[in-house]
């Protein structure tokens, strides 16, 4: 089951390493005519990094594609990001990433002085449309690479998520989002549902809490 990581010193150190790698990635992508920004899902400042039992700690990041040659060429975007990510990981003496349906995941990373604590970077490629809705890049595998499908999948109810989260925090009910986020992640884990990454769970948690507070006229 998922739970929140409480070791703030380790989180700070590991997130610094992740940020260094992902900063190098955005620089590399810029050289390949893609402008992008990365951010930790749920915001690292809100301490929403989770771990499933003794598995590696998951640092879930979104890579927001802001500019590229062709937003409709999803295969080219995914492949460009994958190759750039592998180049950067290699430069940091790390192995190539794994390419899953909705993310790119680094192999396990650890510090020499803390070899028993491992973590990974789970990178979801996203973009925001002109109406404020978020879309994540999906790589639908068929078993035969040439037939694989690549497309943008609109995240439901993803508009104004930041504005909603800010209002919840201002109302003093942010702990409700943390509780809902963890509940959703564990519910999907029990169902063996891999179609709801942290990005989607976070959006659902914010919307659920926001709608509940609004119904109670507490926001």
Alpha-carbon torsion 172, 158, 76, 72, what sign?
negative
- Dist. CA 159–CA 186, nearest whole Å: 24
Q: Considering the chain, what is the average pLDDT of its residues? A: 94
Backbone φ and ψ of 6, nearest 5°: -105, -15
Mean pLDDT of 111-133: 95
Other C-beta atoms closer than 10 Å to the C-beta of 178 total: 16
Give the burial class of 64: count Cβ atoms within 10 A of its Cβ; 0-12 exposed, 13-18 middle, 19 or more buried. middle
6-30 per-position pLDDT tens digit = 898 999 999 999 999 999 999 999 9
Helix 198-215 / helix 174-190 crossing angle, nearest 10 deg: 130
38-71 per-position pLDDT tens digit = 999 975 546 789 999 889 998 999 999 999 999 9
Q: Which residues contact 141 (CB under 8 A, 6 or more apart)?
A: 101, 148
- Dist. CA 55–CA 185, nearest whole Å: 15
144-199 per-position pLDDT tens digit = 988 999 999 999 999 999 999 999 999 999 999 999 999 999 999 999 998 899 99
Q: Which residues contact 219 (CB under 8 A, 6 or more apart)?
A: 167, 168, 171, 173, 210, 213
Length, in residues, of the chain: 219
- The residue assigned the tokens 């803390």 is 114
Model confidence band, residue 82 (pLDDT cutoffs 50, 70, 90): very high
Backbone φ and ψ of 101, nearest 5°: -60, -45
Per-residue model confidence (pLDDT) at position 75: 97
Q: Answer yes or no: are the C-beta atoms of 202 and 156 closer than 8 Å.
A: no
Per-residue model confidence (pLDDT) at position 46: 66
User: What is the pTM (predicted TM-score) of this model?
Assistant: 0.93
């Amino acid at each position: 089951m998922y739970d929140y990581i409480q070791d703030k010193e380790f989180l700070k150190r590991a997130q610094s390493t992740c940020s260094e790698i992902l900063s190098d990635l955005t620089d590399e992508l810029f050289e390949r005519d893609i402008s992008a920004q990365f951010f930790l899902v749920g915001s690292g400042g809100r301490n929403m990094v989770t771990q499933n039992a003794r598995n590696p700690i998951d640092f879930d990041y979104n890579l927001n594609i802001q500019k590229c040659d062709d937003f409709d060429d999803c295969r080219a975007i995914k492949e460009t990001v994958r190759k750039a990510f592998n180049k950067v990981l290699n430069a940091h003496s790390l192995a190539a990433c794994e390419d899953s349906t909705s993310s790119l995941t680094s192999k396990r990373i650890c510090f020499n002085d803390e070899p028993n604590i491992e973590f990974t970077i789970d990178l979801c490629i996203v973009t925001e449309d002109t109406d404020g809705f978020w879309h994540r890049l999906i790589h639908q595998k068929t078993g035969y690479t040439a037939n694989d499908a690549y497309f943008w999948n609109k995240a439901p109810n993803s508009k104004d998520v930041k504005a909603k989260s800010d209002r919840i925090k201002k109302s003093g009910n942010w702990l409700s989002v943390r509780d809902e986020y963890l509940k959703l992640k564990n519910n999907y884990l029990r169902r063996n549902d891999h179609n709801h990454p942290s990005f989607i769970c976070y959006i659902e948690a914010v919307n659920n809490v926001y709608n509940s507070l609004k119904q109670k006229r507490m926001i």
